[in-house]
Chain A
Amino acid sequence: DAGVIQSPRHEVTEMGQEVTLRCKPISGHNSLFWYRQTMMRGLELLIYFNNNVPIDDSGMPEDRFSAKMPNASFSTLKIQPSEPRDSAVYFCASRLLGQPNEKLFFGSGTQLSVL
């Protein structure tokens, strides 16, 4: 199993540019999460989907952030326009609903730097 796959691994962009982060969950998983990690705030949940449907987007900081899951094997997180304070590591995670121990499998993350 390839695990959760995120791309790109690193993204450096200038303020005001559009940024798109991508995620491929583990095959068969039907719940997908986007987290953001910073030193100050740790891991913060941005949004999660069950069966491709957004369930809770209360963690999305502003309208500049949007996420989609067009099918069970792909999700995107878009920031438009980007700002320096968006610099962080963005993680995607997936799991199978109803698993006994309900554990999340994380990708390796996208390190985003907005200059």
Chain B
Amino acid sequence: EDQVTQSPEALRLQEGESSSLNCSYTVSGLRGLFWYRQDPGKGPEFLFTLYSAGEEKEKERLKATLTKKESFLHITAPKPEDSATYLCAVQAGGFGNEKLTFGTGTRLTIIP
């Protein structure tokens, strides 16, 4: 069974203080690893897809990286508007498998 574990559960940072969120996964043949952002009272919003170890993607202050066992979401010089819950999800290989398995998320708070 596919499993995703995110750490820490919650993280409080001062504005401008860089850090990383971790996503460890166990999956039978990774087809894709996804990062989403979720604001209170809203549905998750897509950030990145990573497909193979060594791949990196960036968007503004966020950079996602992938190894064979985990992914990191690096946040550089965060601002208060980066406060949200960040979710990681994996999709296993196999023709026709569309299922995404999510972790429980990291709740990030950026203090001005």
The chain A residues found within 8 Å of chain B, CB to CB, are: 4, 31, 33, 35, 41-45, 48, 50, 55-56, 91, 93, 97, 101-109
| Interface contact A48-B99, CB-CB below 8 Å | yes
Judge whether A41 and B98 touch: CB under 8 Å.
no
- How many whole Å from A105's CB to the nearest CB in chain B? 7
The 7 closest A-B pairs by CB, nearest first: A106-B43, A42-B104, A43-B102, A103-B46, A101-B49, A106-B44, A91-B43
Q: How large is the interface on B (under 10, 10 to 19, 20 to 34, 35 or more residues)?
A: 20 to 34
B-side contacts of A93, CB under 8 Å:
43
Contact at B43–A56, with CB atoms within 8 Å?
Answer: no
Chain B residues with CB under 8 A of A103: 34, 46, 49
Chain B: minimal CB distance from A8 (Å): 14
- Is there an interface contact between A105 and B101, defined as CB atoms closer than 8 Å? no
Q: How far is the CA of A109 from the CA of B49 in the complex (A)?
A: 23
Q: When chains A and B are docked, how far (Å) is the Cα of A106 from the Cα of B42?
A: 9
- Are B98 and A43 in contact (CB-based, < 8 A)? no
- Measured CB to CB, the closest approach of chain A to B72, in angstroms, equals 19
A41-B46 contact in complex given A50-B98, A55-B96, A97-B98, C-beta closer than 8 Å: no
B44-A31 in contact (CB<8A): no
Interface residue B78 (Cβ < 8 Å from any Cβ of A):
no
Residue of B nearest to A56 (CB): B99
List residues of chain A with CB within 8 A of the CB of B44.
Answer: 43, 91, 104, 106
